[in-house]
């Protein structure tokens, strides 16, 4: 019996499946799809952010923080969870993101589309409430 190469799949149940010859394809496909879906749902965090900033608001707030060298906290999406980082905006990265200097002195590039929330100690709350 020849084995079909399913090494492309990240799910073990699909990679190790061996067709017994008598099984119809429909139950195989449905069972494997259901198994993969269960694995995906168990791995994924469906937590939605409270709100998301518009692109213009992000650019305005980041420009303001960069020009005044304000220490800000950025909440951004990293894979399946939101992460927070505090520091100073140093520069723009090709108009698609920023170069951020964290409190520990390390640098990080953050894409604008991944930014969920920006906070500081005094300026951003009044701006967002306008």
pLDDT tens for 8-38 read 888 888 888 776 665 555 555 667 777 777 7
pLDDT tens for 81-92 read 889 999 999 999
* CB < 8 Å & 24+ apart, contacts of 58-62: 58/112, 58/115, 58/118, 59/112, 60/127, 61/118, 61/124, 61/127, 62/89, 62/98, 62/112, 62/118
* β-pair type (71-78, 115-119): antiparallel
80 lies in the same domain as 110: yes
Residue 106 in domain? yes
Mean pLDDT of 112-125: 83
Mean pLDDT of 57-84: 89
70 lies in the same domain as 111: yes
Q: How far apart are CA 16 and CA 68, in angstroms?
A: 57
Average pLDDT over all residues of the chain: 79
pLDDT at site 30: 67
Domains: count for the chain: 2
Instruction: Kindly report the CATH number assigned to the domain that includes residue 78.
Output: 2.30.30.520
Q: Which residue has the tokens 């084995």?
A: 3
């Amino acid at each position: 019996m020849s084995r079909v190469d399913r090494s492309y799949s990240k799910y073990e149940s699909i990679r190790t499946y061996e067709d017994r010859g008598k099984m119809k394809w429909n139950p195989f496909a449905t069972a494997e799809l259901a198994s993969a879906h269960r694995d995906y749902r168990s791995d994924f965090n469906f937590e939605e952010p409270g709100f998301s900033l518009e692109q213009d608001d992000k650019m305005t707030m980041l420009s303001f923080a960069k020009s005044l060298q304000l220490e800000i906290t950025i909440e951004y999406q990293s894979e399946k969870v939101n992460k927070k980082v505090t520091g100073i905006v140093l520069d723009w990265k090709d108009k698609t993101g920023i170069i951020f200097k964290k409190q520990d002195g390390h640098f990080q590039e953050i894409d604008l589309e991944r930014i969920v929330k920006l906070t500081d100690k005094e300026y951003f709350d009044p701006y967002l409430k306008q």
